[in-house]
Amino acid sequence: MISREEALDVYQQLRTIRSFEEKLDTMMKAGKMAGFLHLYVGQEAVAVGVCSHLNDRDYVSSNHRGHGHCIAKGVDLKGMMAELFGKKTGICKGKGGSMHIADLDRGMIGANGIVGAGIPQAVGAALTVSVKKTGGVAVAFFGDGATNQGQFHEALNIAATWKLPAVFILENNGYGEATPAEFAAPMTDLAVRAKSYAMHSLVADGMDFFDVFEKAGEAIDRARKGEGPSLVECKTYRFLGHFVGDPIGYRTDEELNDWKTNRDPLPTFETKAIEMGLVSADALRRIDAEVTAEIEAAVASAEEAPFPSPEDVLTDVYVTE
Amino acid sequence: MPTPIAMPKLGITMEEGTVVEWPYAVGDRVEKGQVVLIIESEKAEVEIEAAETGVVRHYYVDAGDTVPCGTLLGAMTEGEDDGFDVAEFEGTHAAEAATQPGSSAGRAPRRPAPPRPSAAPVRRLGAAPATPAARVRARALEIDVTTVLGTGPGGRITREDVDEWAERRKRLVVVAQGVSLDVPQHGSGEPVLLLPGLGTDVSAFAQQIPALSASHHVYGINPRGVAGSDAPEQEGYTVAQAAADAAAVCDVPAHVVGASLGAAVALELALAQPAKVRTLTLITPFVTSDARLDAVSDSWSRLAADVTPDVLARSLLPWFFSAAFLADDTRRERIVRGLGTTVARVPAATLHRSVTGLHAWSGTRTADLAQLAVPTLVLIAGGDLLTPDATSIATEIPGATMVLIPGAGHGLTIEAPEAVTEAILAHLSAAS
Amino acid sequence: MARTLSFTAALNEALHIAMEADDDVIIIGEDVAGGGGRKDQGIEDAWGGPFGATRGLIGKFGPERVRDTPISEMGFLGVAVGAAATGLRPVAEIMFIDFLGVALDPLLNQASKMRYMFGGKARVPLTMRTNVGAGNRASCQHSQALYGMTVAIPGLKTVIPSTPADAKGLLLASIRDDNPVVFCETKSLMNSEGEVPEGDYEIPLGTASVVREGGDVTLVGMGRTVHTALEAADALAEDGLQADVVDLRSLYPLDEATVLASLEKTGRLVVVDEATPYCGIASEIGALCIDKGFDFLNAPVKKVTAPHTPVPFSPVLEDEYMPSQEKIVAAVHEQLGWNT
């Protein structure tokens, strides 16, 4: 269970991800940003519930919907915002953009534009911590769609065969782009796919921080203890489209409203945390204000920051020193 | 029903064509498949074949005129007396053409017309492309690259050609007012003049020069218009002038060695300026050309204008070498390369002028051979196709030594290099 | 002291040295041990890699650092990329470069781009050893020379040694390079032998080598075609032509200076590559000559490559497919206007 301090921190992260993504949605629609943006709104409890167990020696690989994972793994907000604006001060000097945010110092080994590609990389990171015996673990975040990719299956097979300290976090938000999961795979609980690899698996309520925290905690503990990898399927939902500009149309308003009204991870956390006596509503409202201010500051800083010089196109291709 | 001959549309871009030639006159009978019309479109001549056998009845368009595709050019009928009205048929055709664009009388062209012998040689001196490296080298050496003779593929001017040109221009010897010749020199001692035959240069003696230059000062004389020598614009390069040029190269008496047309020059020099000649060596000489030599020299100068040096060299092989010599594939290819490089140094214009000189000289010295008073060696190739009177020359020159190399072809310095060298050295040492 | 070693033995020696010197170096691939290292049953390495280049490593460095993988190229190559990005120095073996067909993403979109898209903060010291080339009757899917494809991907380096000595030095340099390197081993050279220096040495990536000197024509080769070019140089010498033979060794970075210096000397260049003709190294060398060596050109650049076909099986067909000494000689003759 988490402490009061930790609960405030959890809420601060949930709120930061939510506000960060909503701000991007607004700015993108206002024409202030370029590129593809895949927003994480609705799935915040998964990233925060998992990353609450991690420290800087642990690794995370992410996917195209990666802002939440980055924030939860502690990547600098200002650096992220500047990156999304394509600025020189961006966390990747403006060379990666939304789908390629990484911060190796924080163990964030990269968002990824190729569905499923981050999964074997997390297994590789698990191999590193295993060979180097650092005691770390490696976590791969990916969606339901990625479980239909070869990289998912090949990586799980290797991780399980080698008993690596890897944890696979499957965020099943019900849709692979515009296609409902049931049209892409013949089972409801994708977690059963772990059984093919004799791998431990769990199913969590991805809208509930506490459930994700518990199940992910179990998986991460097993990995740290050398008991091999696990797959945790988190049932979740994205409140926005696949990308900003998605005309949607593949799901009903009723379905969306039901998830937003009854299962939004932020109010769910707030209610439970208050019930558990971990936080007060006032404290959370103060956090809301702080987060808003922090995000506004990040936007202002990103807007003021310089763009890269055109000649920077040539740098950072190779390690040259 | 008359058959129309119309301007065909050859390819999607052709919009009009020019009638170049009507090979038949009105009233002539033309067999199916024969060329009934030659047109030009987009710079290419195309032969149009008759679609059916018949008689030419009328030409609507004259040679030289350019008309749009589809225009009625002429008409044929099956028999010479079949009904045909010039104006009526033109009207009928125009009505048909309006509904059938692109109709034409001829079948698809058989093939582009072969290149025709042309007064303007396509491989003129300086007309060949130069490689980038050649251009750079020419600039550095301050040479006009268009003056350089190209020996590369298709006569392309290479860097080596520029270097060689520069070397040649360094060793020029002035032989007349405003005329300098490219005279490669080797060794020291008594002078030897080497005079190459028609259409070749001093490299024809490449296999004799090392031995000769070991004991003599060898002057290889590239005649007017050959290799690096000046090519003054003259109607012909006469044998007498070539002899005068040779005499001007060296002012002391010399051993004079000539091959074929070079032998003619040597003979001329010995007759005109006997004091300049210590000994005379005539390799496969002639004093009167025959029809075959005329035919070869004529085809040679035409080929030089139209084909690559490689093809030219190949066409000369049977005239220069025996079957036995050519039987070795590797050697034959090596000879082609060498000869190809050699003939590349003789532009078509030079050949034409040299042939003119050869014809003018032919037959003029037959009666004078008996007057020759210098020690003379005549080298005769047993299989020589080009010099029918070589043996009689040897007989008529008083005291001449005759050496016959059985079976060999006209290109004796190349086919029997050692025998030629030995005979010359023996002749020179006997004279001194 | 140099000894005579086979290509495979030279590679094996390099791997031993690299693993001895750096604990971060690991070996990963199909049957790099073979038998999976069943020490309890007295089995260590049944194969030691498909060609034997990794023999003895598992016995010396243990199964933690020498890993037989499932037949799962995309999976283990992705794992190797992740391991490289997080601090190991993996040497992954894709048995035949043809298998990149099922494993390209980790190279194409991941290893090659991490440093750039992460703003210069990633290092991916991955070496991908792989077998290339035809001539062994291995047919369409085990014989291709696909290095042109990896050369075209920014962020990767690609090397291809032609001798055992270069194989050892280039492999050590590749493993220690902080960038992903595609290390191509030519099938038909694996059993070839040559002098190999002892000890630890590196041949810097991006340096070509002039393996024979001559002033008349430059023959550029890589891997097996270096040897074909040398045979052609012997044949040309019989015609009195002296060839400069350049072994590229490194395809990216490309040692442009050595190629151009040779072209400047000879004015004529024939590039010999057993890959197919389009969008490959041969075309790239041709473009280089035109772009930066235009004024040196004394003849058109000639490409002697495989035809634009798959690699055939039948010996008669495969022999025809390969660049040969005769084809090189013919190309030079064409440049000189001989036999045309």
Q: pLDDT tens, C232-241?
A: 999 999 989 9
Structure tokens given for B389: 């009177």
Pairing between β-strand A138-143 and β-strand A166-172 as defined by DSSP bridges = parallel
Answer whether residue B288 is part of any domain: yes
Q: What does the mean pLDDT of chain C come to?
A: 95
On whether the CB atoms of residues A123 and A199 are closer than 8 A, the answer is: no
Residues facing B21 on adjacent strands: B38
* Range C114-142 average pLDDT: 95
B311 and B213 within one domain: yes
> What is the nearest CA distance from B153 to chain C, expressed in angstroms?
4
Q: Which residues on chain C are in Cβ contact (under 8 Å) with A158? A: 69-70, 72, 75-76, 79
> What is the nearest CA distance from B357 to chain C, expressed in angstroms?
31
pLDDT at B13: 65
Residue ranges of alpha helices (H) inside B71-204 are: 86-99, 132-140, 159-170
> What is the nearest CA distance from A121 to chain C, expressed in angstroms?
4
Test C267 with B156 for CB contact under 8 angstroms: no
Does the pTM surpass 0.90? The reply is no
pLDDT above 90 covers what percent of chain B?
Answer: 59
How does residue B102 score in pLDDT terms, banded at 50, 70 and 90?
A: very low
Q: Which CATH number covers residue B124?
A: 4.10.320.10
Residue B125, C-beta contacts closer than 8 angstroms, at least 6 positions apart: B147, B149, B231, B347, B349
Question: Residue C116: is its pLDDT beyond 90?
Answer: yes
Question: Residue C95: is its pLDDT beyond 60?
Answer: yes
pLDDT at C97: 97
3-state SS assignment for residue C159: strand
Residue ranges of alpha helices (H) inside B234-328 are: 239-249, 261-272, 291-306, 309-320, 323-326
Chain C, 232 to 261: residues with Cβ < 8 Å from chain A are none
Q: Is A84 on the interface with C (CB under 8 A)?
A: no
Question: Residue B25: is its pLDDT beyond 60?
Answer: yes
* Range C78-85 average pLDDT: 98
In B113-231, DSSP assigns E strands to 172-176, 179-182, 185-186, 190-195, 216-220
B51 and B155 within one domain: no
CA dihedral of residues C16, C20, C25, C28 (deg, nearest 10)? 40
- Phi first, then psi: what are they for A143, rounded to 5°? -100, 180
- What structural domains does chain A harbor? 4-305 (3.40.50.970)
B379 and B247 within one domain: yes
How does residue B216 score in pLDDT terms, banded at 50, 70 and 90?
A: very high
Neighbours of C71 (CB within 10 A): 12
B163 and B258 within one domain: no
Chain B interface test: which of C265, C269, C297, C298 (most B C-beta within 10 Å): C298
How does residue B38 score in pLDDT terms, banded at 50, 70 and 90?
A: confident
B181 and B69 within one domain: no
Number of domains making up chain B = 3
Q: Do chains C and A touch (3 or more CB pairs under 8 A)?
A: yes
* Range C270-291 average pLDDT: 97
Q: Which CATH number covers residue B389?
A: 3.40.50.1820
pLDDT at B125: 39
Question: Residue B112: is its pLDDT beyond 50?
Answer: no
On whether the CB atoms of residues B191 and B249 are closer than 8 A, the answer is: no
On whether the CB atoms of residues B246 and B195 are closer than 8 A, the answer is: yes
- Cα(B408)–Cα(B386) distance, integer angstroms: 12
Q: What does the mean pLDDT of chain A come to?
A: 96
Pairing between β-strand C269-273 and β-strand C217-221 as defined by DSSP bridges = parallel
Question: Residue B117: is its pLDDT beyond 80?
Answer: no
| CA-based R_g, chain A, Å | 19
Closest CA to A230 of A254, A202, A204: A202
How does residue B108 score in pLDDT terms, banded at 50, 70 and 90?
A: very low
Each residue of B318-333: pLDDT tens digit?
999 999 999 999 899 8
* Range C10-34 average pLDDT: 97
Question: Residue B63: is its pLDDT beyond 90?
Answer: no
- What structural domains does chain C harbor? 2-197 (3.40.50.970), 209-336 (3.40.50.920)
Cβ-nearest to B152 among C294, C296, C337? C337
On whether the CB atoms of residues B130 and B145 are closer than 8 A, the answer is: yes
Find the residue in C nearest to B331 (Cα): C239
Answer whether residue B287 is part of any domain: yes
How does residue B120 score in pLDDT terms, banded at 50, 70 and 90?
A: very low
B136 and B54 within one domain: no
CA dist list (Å): C61 to A86, A126, C173, C247: 45, 19, 20, 34
Structure tokens given for A297: 């500051």
Cβ-nearest to B133 among C267, C336, C340? C267
Q: Is C156 on the interface with A (CB under 8 A)?
A: no
B73 and B55 within one domain: yes
Residue ranges of alpha helices (H) inside C72-163 are: 73-85, 104-105, 114-117, 147-151
Structure tokens given for C322: 């390969």
Test C298 with B159 for CB contact under 8 angstroms: yes
pLDDT at B119: 32
- Cα(B120)–Cα(B299) distance, integer angstroms: 15
On whether the CB atoms of residues C72 and A120 are closer than 8 A, the answer is: no
B203 and B125 within one domain: no
Each residue of B292-319: pLDDT tens digit?
999 999 999 999 988 888 899 999 999 9
pLDDT at B127: 54
Cβ-nearest to C337 among B135, B154, B334? B154
pLDDT at B97: 53
Q: Which residues on chain C are in Cβ contact (under 8 Å) with A152? A: none
Q: Which of B108, B136, B170 delimits the end of a domain?
A: B170
- Cα(B75)–Cα(B59) distance, integer angstroms: 7
B303 and B154 within one domain: no
pLDDT at C40: 81
Neighbours of B269 (CB within 10 A): 27
Q: Is C126 on the interface with A (CB under 8 A)?
A: no
Which of B117-126, B369-378, C26-35, C100-109 comes out lowest in average pLDDT? B117-126
* Domain encompassing residue B163: 117-170
* Range B48-53 average pLDDT: 80
CA dist list (Å): C290 to C245, C279, C283, C322: 19, 16, 11, 26
* Range C297-316 average pLDDT: 96
Neighbours of A70 (CB within 10 A): 29
B300 and B236 within one domain: yes
Each residue of A208-230: pLDDT tens digit?
999 999 999 999 999 999 999 99
> What is the nearest CA distance from A273 to chain C, expressed in angstroms?
36
pLDDT at A92: 96
How does residue B95 score in pLDDT terms, banded at 50, 70 and 90?
A: low
Answer whether residue B221 is part of any domain: yes
B376 and B232 within one domain: yes
A with C: how many residue pairs have Cβ under 8 Å apart? 160
Query: Which stretches of chain A score pLDDT less than 50?
Result: none
Question: Residue B73: is its pLDDT beyond 50?
Answer: yes
Q: Which residues on chain B are in Cβ contact (under 8 Å) with C267? A: 131, 133, 158-159
Question: Residue B92: is its pLDDT beyond 80?
Answer: no
pLDDT at B39: 86
Distance of CA B253 to the CA centre of its chain: 33
User: How many Å from the N-terminal Cα to the C-terminal Cα in chain B?
Assistant: 89
Question: Residue B69: is its pLDDT beyond 90?
Answer: no
Q: Do chains B and C touch (3 or more CB pairs under 8 A)?
A: yes
Q: Is B36 on the interface with C (CB under 8 A)?
A: no
* Range C16-21 average pLDDT: 98
Q: Which residues on chain C are in Cβ contact (under 8 Å) with A154? A: 70, 72, 74-76, 78
Each residue of A77-102: pLDDT tens digit?
999 999 999 999 999 999 999 999 99
Q: What does the mean pLDDT of chain B come to?
A: 87
B51 and B92 within one domain: yes
Closest CA to C69 of A155, A272, B271: A155
pLDDT at C339: 62
Question: Residue B106: is its pLDDT beyond 60?
Answer: no
pLDDT at B11: 61
Answer whether residue B109 is part of any domain: no
Concerning whether C333 is annotated as a catalytic residue, the answer is no
On whether the CB atoms of residues C123 and C115 are closer than 8 A, the answer is: yes
- Cα(B131)–Cα(B161) distance, integer angstroms: 10
pLDDT at B111: 37
Q: Is A314 on the interface with C (CB under 8 A)?
A: no
- Phi first, then psi: what are they for B296, rounded to 5°? -65, -45
Answer whether residue B262 is part of any domain: yes
pLDDT at B146: 84
